[in-house]
Amino acid sequence: MTIASVIFHIQNRTTEQVEAALDGVFAREERPQALRVEGSYTAVLARVDDAALDADYRYLLLRPHGVGAWTPLLELGSRTEGLDVELSRALDGATIVTVYQYGEVVSGYRVTRAGAEVDRYSSDPTAFDGAQDDASDAEPAEADVEALRGRPERFADLLPAGTTAEDFARVVLTPGWWEAHDASASDDASVETSDDASGETSDEDELVDELDRMRCIALALELWSPDDYPLTQDLEDLPNKLIGPAIALAWSV
């Protein structure tokens, strides 16, 4: 079973342009290319997902679906920090929307334009606090938390006609951790447990499927099509007819 936890979507750029930009990023880091193969989706997925492949950085580059303006780039290996910014710069300021989901506990997006990040959202800014070696009982500063709330008004022009930034935030972004956080911060909030008081959800709160939220973010922005976003499924279950030809790319450390 192969699930893409990070997917970049590059607006109005061809697969050839995206591949050249990705090549340039890894060339500047002097990382040797371990794989480059083009062909049917299922064939190249098997190659890039091969456990015997000696490469930490693995990508699957797809063609835009139908009349969509977004070229998907699936990150299947080690995660990279700031790759969307580097690609945007290399592609003359291209807009890039990155959606992600980690460990079934947190999902989110990053929006990059003109070589700079313009917005970032995390469904739970505290999800991995306890995973840090130097973690303490101190809660993150409120300003750091708010930086991950997501401000879709900053890219409202990417939302389809009839979808407002406010509706997108209310329906897709707020449910779950942010809803509980805002309730606990409100003067008239009714706090039932100490966990709720710290902004964490209690066992009684309705759980949000983060993989589904990732899909909803992509659907709202029509990153594949207005009514479908298949890339959150098990990649091995997706048919060639739906995805089309693809390019597998990989680099060693």
Residue 91 structure tokens: 């592609």
Q: What is the pLDDT of residue 46?
A: 97
Q: What is the pLDDT of residue 187?
A: 47
Residue 200 to residue 191: CA distance in whole angstroms:
11
Q: What is the pLDDT of residue 136?
A: 52
Report how far apart, in Å, the C-alpha atoms of 222 and of each of 97, 115, 169, 217 are: 11, 22, 16, 9
Kindly tell me the burial class for residue 107, based on how many C-beta atoms sit within 10 Å of its own C-beta (0-12, 13-18, 19 or more). Answer: buried
Residue 167 to residue 153: CA distance in whole angstroms:
11
User: What is the mean pLDDT of each successive set of 10 residues along the chain, which is 253 residues long?
Assistant: 86 97 97 97 97 96 88 94 97 98 91 98 86 56 91 96 95 95 71 46 64 95 94 95 96 93
Residue 216 structure tokens: 């909803």
pTM for this prediction: 0.89
Q: What is the pLDDT of residue 207?
A: 78
Q: What is the pLDDT of residue 253?
A: 86
